[in-house]
Structure 1
C-alpha cells in the first residue's frame, strides 16, 4: 500500500471517495489506526446507521401524506372512488417499512419517535401537491401537528372506508 499522509487522506475524502474508503479499509485491516481518517470515517458510519431510518421516515411521510389526502381532498380528486392510488401507495409504503424492520429490527422502536419529522415532510408534499394541481394553498389549512398517531398510520384500513 502506498504511503499517504493524514492530510492527503482527508483531502481524498472530497476528491475520490471510493479510493478514500479503500485506503481506510486497508489501514484498518493492517491495524494502522493512527493513519485512519477517523473524523470522516465516524461521520460515514453515523450516516450509514441513519440511512435506513431516513428511508423509513420517507415512507412514513408518504403514508401520512396520502392518508391526509384521503381524508381531506377526495372531493378535489373526483369523489368517493377517487384515491385508490393513495391507498395502494400507503400499502406499498407500509410494506417497505415492514421489510426494513425485518432487516433492521431496531428501526421498529425508532420510527415511532420520528412521526413529527415525517409529518413535516408530508405537509410540504401536500402543499406542493395543491400547487401542482392549481389549488390556492391559502384556501387550505393543513395542521402543524400531525393529525394521526403512528399506530393509525401503520394499521388504518382505508379499503374498509370505501364501502362506508
Structure 2
C-alpha cells in the first residue's frame, strides 16, 4: 500500500511513508498533493491554537475585571501563565503576529460567552468588542479594573 490509498486508510502509515520518501528525495513517489494539504492544515492548527490561548487569557481578564471577589493568587498566576504561553507560541510562529487583530476579535467573542457562563453574569455585562489591545493584555502590569 502506498500514496493516496494509505492517506485514506492508515494516516499514520502514510505519514511515515511520506516522510521517508521526502528524506531520501524520492519526490516522484511522494503524495505531493496530500503533503501540501497537511502542511496547510498544520498552519491552520497553529492559528487555532493562538485563538484558543488568547481566549483563555481574555476569559481570565474579563473575570478579573467583572468578578473582583474571585481575584487571588490562582487567578494572577493563570493570567501570567497564559501570557507566557502566548509569547512562546508567537516566538515559535512569528508570522502569526500579522493575524493578531482578527485573531483577537475571534478570541474575544469566545471569551465573552465563556465569561458569561463561568460568572453567571449576563453576556451584556461584558463589552461587545474587546476593550483592550493586544499590547495591553500581554503587558505584565495590566490588571483591568471595573
State how far apart, in whole Å, the 2-side matches of 1:56 and 1:87 are. Answer: 20
Question: How many pairs align?
Answer: 144
- The Cα RMSD (Å) is 2.8
Could you say which residue in structure 2 is the equivalent of 1:125? 114
1:65 aligns with 2:54: no
Could you say which residue in structure 2 is the equivalent of 1:47? 41
Q: Kindly indicate whether the alpha-carbon contact (under 8 Å) linking 1:59 and 1:97 is maintained by their aligned counterparts in 2.
A: yes
1:107 aligns with 2:96: yes
Measured at CA, do residues 10 and 124 of structure 1 come closer, stay the same or move farther in structure 2, by a change above 3 Å?
farther
Q: Kindly indicate whether the alpha-carbon contact (under 8 Å) linking 2:53 and 2:86 is maintained by their aligned counterparts in 1.
A: yes
TM-score (norm: length of structure 1): 0.70
Report which of the two structures shows the higher radius of gyration computed on alpha carbons.
1
Q: Kindly indicate whether the alpha-carbon contact (under 8 Å) linking 1:119 and 1:146 is maintained by their aligned counterparts in 2.
A: yes
Q: Secondary structure at the match of 1:28?
A: helix
Structure 1 unmatched runs, 5+ = none
2:75 aligns with one of 80, 86, 94:
86
1:157 aligns with 2:141: yes
> What is the deviation of 1:93?
0.9
Could you say which residue in structure 2 is the equivalent of 1:26? 20
Structure 2 unmatched runs, 5+ = none
